[in-house]
Amino acid sequence: MTMTSRVRISFTTAARMVGGYASSRLREQLKAVAFVVVYLVAFQFLVFGTAPAEAFRVAAGIAMVVFGLAFFLEGLLLGLMPLGQRVGIRLATRGGIVALVFFGVLVGVGSTLAEPAIAALRVAGAGVTAWEAPLLFFLLERIPGVLILSVGAGVGVAVAVGLLRFFFGFSLKPIILIVVPVLLAATVFLAQSPNLAMIIGLAWDTGAVTTGPVTVPLVLALGIGVSRAAGKSEGAAGGFGTVMLASMFPVLGVMALGVFVEPRVPEPVSEREFFSEEFRESALRLFADESDLRRYAILNAGEDGRNAIFGDEETYREAVRLLTLNGEFVADTQASPGAVLLEEVGSSLRAVIPLTALLGIVLVVLLRDRPRYLDEVILGIVFALVGMTFLAGGIRLGLAPLGDDVGRRLPQVLSEQDFAGDPVVIEQFDPDRVLTALDATGTAVPFFYLHDGDTVNIVPFDAERYDPVSRRYIHQPQTSRWYQLNLPFVGIVLVMIFAFGMGYGSTLAEPALNALGRTVEDLTVGTVRRHSVVRAVSIGVGIGLVVGVARIMYGIPIVWTIVPPYLVLLPLSILSEESFVGISWDSGGVTTGPVTVPLVLAMGLGIGGALGVVDGFGILAMASVYPILTVMIFGLFVRMKERRTIREAEQEDDGE
């Protein structure tokens, strides 16, 4: 009888081993985040001549993202993925098809709620105005929970269809040829209504948000388990296509929610009309009560809106005073990193624990099994909770503000004026200090003197920048251009170069994309190199961001940028091989990770806000569709090259 003895190691050795492993994981995530952050900061310094706003908070947020990503992904590998694979194996052998479908829907909803990038979607409605896009405002600000559940329901249906595909082993092409035309038809239908047209970009962007580090690995783990149990595994190629499903069905879910809710909200109107007494009943459909509407007017409306709802300046000042006394003007941006982390602990618990409990209950209670290596699974869940807390907090503090800051400043390169520097807030401003000067026409121009360090500057006075209630004046200094060419054409070139570079560079750093490239290289036995796939996807994302930014800048209806590339993809999918179809369609999902999504989404909304564009969504959708197109074209090129090589070899054999 042999005895097994436990290997004992010293605390110092164990600490060295754990420390080395942890540092390697942190370096991986730092590499994934570093390029895009350095790229954004360098662009601000070189082009705008200023540092990012609130640089310390942004730096703290980025550090939290690196730390959170490392813990979160490790938690997935140790906890959720082994648990999901075990459930998939047992469910396919003991549960039956009905149980498989029902469980797939539940897992899809649960994984969507646990996605870190959902945090970016939750804060995306801040720049949407209630009078210009009432339906979009209502979905993002009034019923964000229902919106996320509709996204989750779409992912749930996608997971169920994906598991059935794994179970029966049927082709992906028929699904594409059914789902994509339905989505395009729905997009064209929504574009006919002013209200519904505003949610098209949001709907297509949710498809990119859902294919993150929770949904994709968990669904693939479930699918692998089902395939093994059903005996329908097709090797590496059989796993492709699931990400595509999880990208398409949520789009339909958001569109369906918009159509259902649209009769309850008013049509887009001018700001003055929205806050007028005659429109009050319709406007209140978007708010809890009259007080909520007035608070929104104070925080977001211009002079026309405030005059329409308050009538006179005295009533407006009294409303501001009451809200200030009630403490309702505490801004989230002033919260410390510690306070943000405490807020995100609850969100992380609500996201991870229900999903873990669902997997555990199904496995232990219904399937009467238990996870292997239970201690590792528990440790993985703890890691996932810690990681998601830091990751969501880092998105709020670092990535989203950084993307928004660059996005709002980016349109300035199209202007013939100098760039706007960081604003200077002057507290306890005294209007009596304002003087006047005469210009060449004899018109009085107000100004005041501002002492800035060692110099005294003459600053033009703008009455709209002065708040008489708080006695605060916001001065917007101007900085000269580094290239000294006041030509809009140069600005356009800079914007497009920036968009392409950000898309190309950030995609190269996505861990999921490199994993996809390795899988393709193994699947093709080295015929298609990993770096070729990665480069094709990165070029597609760069092109997509260029198209997305151009759409926002020039106000192109999103239906004209969404429908054409997908119409091109349909015949290409028919012509391509089955394995490369799945690879191509999945490549659009692996590019939108927890780092890229908040940055790109915030950048698009920032550009839209700076240019006064109502709808800044849709940029993620462009970053998802064009990689599919470039990889599909690359696959056809590889196939043609292989056929030519085979023909040449056959001709040489015939000649001999």
- pLDDT of residue 407 exceeding 80, the answer is no
What is the average pLDDT score of the chain?
76
Give the rounded distance of the alpha carbon of 420 from its chain centre.
27
Element housing 531 (H / E): helix 530-554
Higher pLDDT, 193 or 351: 193
Local confidence band at 654 (pLDDT 50, 70, 90 cut-offs): low
- For position 228, what pLDDT does the model report? 65
Which DSSP letter does residue 235 get?
G
Do 596 and 505 meet the contact criterion of CB atoms below 8 Å apart? no
Helical H segments across 172-214, by residue range: 173-190, 194-197, 200-210
Do 57 and 331 meet the contact criterion of CB atoms below 8 Å apart? no
460 phi, psi to nearest 5 deg: -65, 140
- Distance between first and last Cα of the chain: 67
Higher pLDDT, 252 or 164: 252
- pLDDT of residue 494 exceeding 80, the answer is no
- pLDDT of residue 198 exceeding 80, the answer is yes
- For position 191, what pLDDT does the model report? 92
- pLDDT of residue 333 exceeding 70, the answer is no
Local confidence band at 485 (pLDDT 50, 70, 90 cut-offs): very low
- For position 253, what pLDDT does the model report? 92
- For position 564, what pLDDT does the model report? 93
Question: ∠ CA(519), CA(524), CA(527), 5° rounding?
Answer: 115
- pLDDT of residue 188 exceeding 90, the answer is yes
- For position 476, what pLDDT does the model report? 64
Lowest mean pLDDT among 96-110, 209-223, 407-421: 407-421
454 phi, psi to nearest 5 deg: -100, 0
Local confidence band at 260 (pLDDT 50, 70, 90 cut-offs): very high
Local confidence band at 190 (pLDDT 50, 70, 90 cut-offs): very high
- For position 21, what pLDDT does the model report? 62
Local confidence band at 330 (pLDDT 50, 70, 90 cut-offs): very low
Local confidence band at 255 (pLDDT 50, 70, 90 cut-offs): very high
Lowest mean pLDDT among 198-207, 263-272, 332-341: 332-341
Local confidence band at 252 (pLDDT 50, 70, 90 cut-offs): very high
Three-state secondary structure of 121-174: HHCHHHHCCCCCCHHHHHHHHHCHHHHHHHHHHHHHHHHHHHHHHHHHCCCCHH
Instruction: Summarize the chain as % helix, strand, coil (round to 5).
Output: 75, 5, 20
Tell me the CB-side half-sphere exposure of residue 327, using CA atoms within 13 A. Answer: 0
Do 651 and 556 meet the contact criterion of CB atoms below 8 Å apart? no
Higher pLDDT, 345 or 211: 345
Local confidence band at 587 (pLDDT 50, 70, 90 cut-offs): confident
Residue whose tokens read 């900085």 = 479
Q: Report which listed range, 329-338, 493-502, 584-593, is most confident.
A: 493-502
- For position 332, what pLDDT does the model report? 44
Local confidence band at 235 (pLDDT 50, 70, 90 cut-offs): very low
The CA R_g of the chain, rounded to the nearest whole Å, is 27
In this prediction, residues 117-146 reach a mean pLDDT of 79
Give the rounded distance of the alpha carbon of 21 from its chain centre.
29
In this prediction, residues 510-527 reach a mean pLDDT of 65
- For position 167, what pLDDT does the model report? 74
- For position 567, what pLDDT does the model report? 93
Lowest mean pLDDT among 92-96, 110-114, 351-355, 543-547: 92-96
Global pTM? 0.76
Higher pLDDT, 37 or 233: 37
**What six digits make up the tokens of 42?**
């360098």
